Amino acid sequence: MKELPIGITGLGVLSPDNTTVDLDTRFKMACETQVFDYLDQTPGPGEVEAFRAASERHGLPLRAGGFYYRLGRDDELLMWHLRVGRDLGVQVHNVQIFTHHADGHPVSNEEVADLYLRALELGERTGVTPCLEVHVNMWSERFSRVAEVGELVERRGAPYYLTLDHSHVIFKIDNPREQLVQDLQADIASGRTILDPASANCVIYEWLQRNWIRHAHARATVPANPLNRWAHHPDGSPGRGIQYPFIEPGPGEWHSAWEPGRLDPWKQAMRAVLAHHARDPKSPLGQVTMEFIPFPDYGGGARYSILANNIACAKWVRDTWNQLSP
């Protein structure tokens, strides 16, 4: 039976009222759930020894980490994170690259591929694999570009690794407002990009079949997810709402009606990820991180327990994996 460690982002380890806890308490709480195999978080400057000490004290590894980067400004920060990851025992580093370069121009596929290849070269020496994430507000939000960059990388003779958080795909289904972003609607209209996991040609399955998924995040959402009107960005706009409670909220704990059947497309795609990994010996997937988090585009302002949702989702993923794995 293949192993598939299940972890939690440090950003999702919160008190019952969703307030942040200190670093040591974060490790302690995650460990005491007896659900998670690792913590997923990258220390900032000056935090490395504190992370190491907390990990060792509570016996919870730092298997994964991640951060967001603006090309032309943060290239060396990425390299530092890969070196730090080696020292902490991290195996994968999630890489989000903003849509625009530090000088303002939209980043090209070639620029993304160049930075990835540079990071991959260092990662091969440190043992920390960089994984480009499919994510909103990043170059990859137009999903057709994900394969374009992958083909550039593979033509240069290198492996291509992604972080899949399929909530970023699912919430755009039946969501005209979200399909306008980066003109995704043009790819949908032409049939170039299919979002619905009910279709065998769903873009998620393309990435799976090409064995590009090295790391995965699990945060539930639904097609046309409601905006998060309980949290706003500095410009006053509501959160985009890329998080749907996995367990039923209590009265007054969420701003919208909760319908469990709406989670089915997200669950269908998650099952496909797990099934592919179970049956394909070439699948590079190494772990799945629970990622219910408290920011405006996700669960900011929520009155349901974000940690409880991470725990419930982790148990569902583990049960599903145990049913599917040989």
Q: What is the CATH number of the domain that holds 121?
A: 3.20.20.150
Residue 130 lies in a domain: yes
Burial of 252 (0-12, 13-18, 19+ CB in 10 A): exposed
Q: Is residue 10 left, alpha or beta, with left meaning phi > 0 and alpha meaning psi from -120 to 50?
A: alpha
Closest-CA residue to 211 (of 171, 246, 159, 252): 159
Tokens of 54: 């907390």
Between CA 92 and CA 115 the distance in angstroms is 16
Record the tokens describing residue 291, joined without a space.
């990622």
Residue range 86-122, pLDDT digits in tens: 999 999 999 999 999 999 999 999 999 999 999 999 9
pLDDT digits (tens, 9 = 90+) for 54-81: 999 999 999 999 999 999 999 999 999 9
Asked if residue 290 is part of any domain, the answer here is: yes
pLDDT, tens digit, 9 for 90 and up, residues 205-263: 999 999 999 999 999 999 999 999 999 999 999 999 999 999 999 999 999 999 999 99
Domain assignment present for residue 67? The answer is: yes
Structure tokens at 234: 């500095």
What single-letter DSSP state applies at residue 98? B
Residue 1 lies in a domain: no
Q: Is 1's pLDDT higher than 80?
A: no
Range of the domain at 175: 6-324
**Per-residue pLDDT at 158:** 98
Length of the chain: 326
Q: Which residue has the higher pLDDT, 130 or 326?
A: 130
DSSP states of 195-218 as a string? --TTSTT-HHHHHHHTT-EEEEEE
Number of independent structural domains in the chain: 1
In whole angstroms, what is the distance from residue 14 CA to residue 253 CA?
A: 16
| 140 is a domain residue | yes
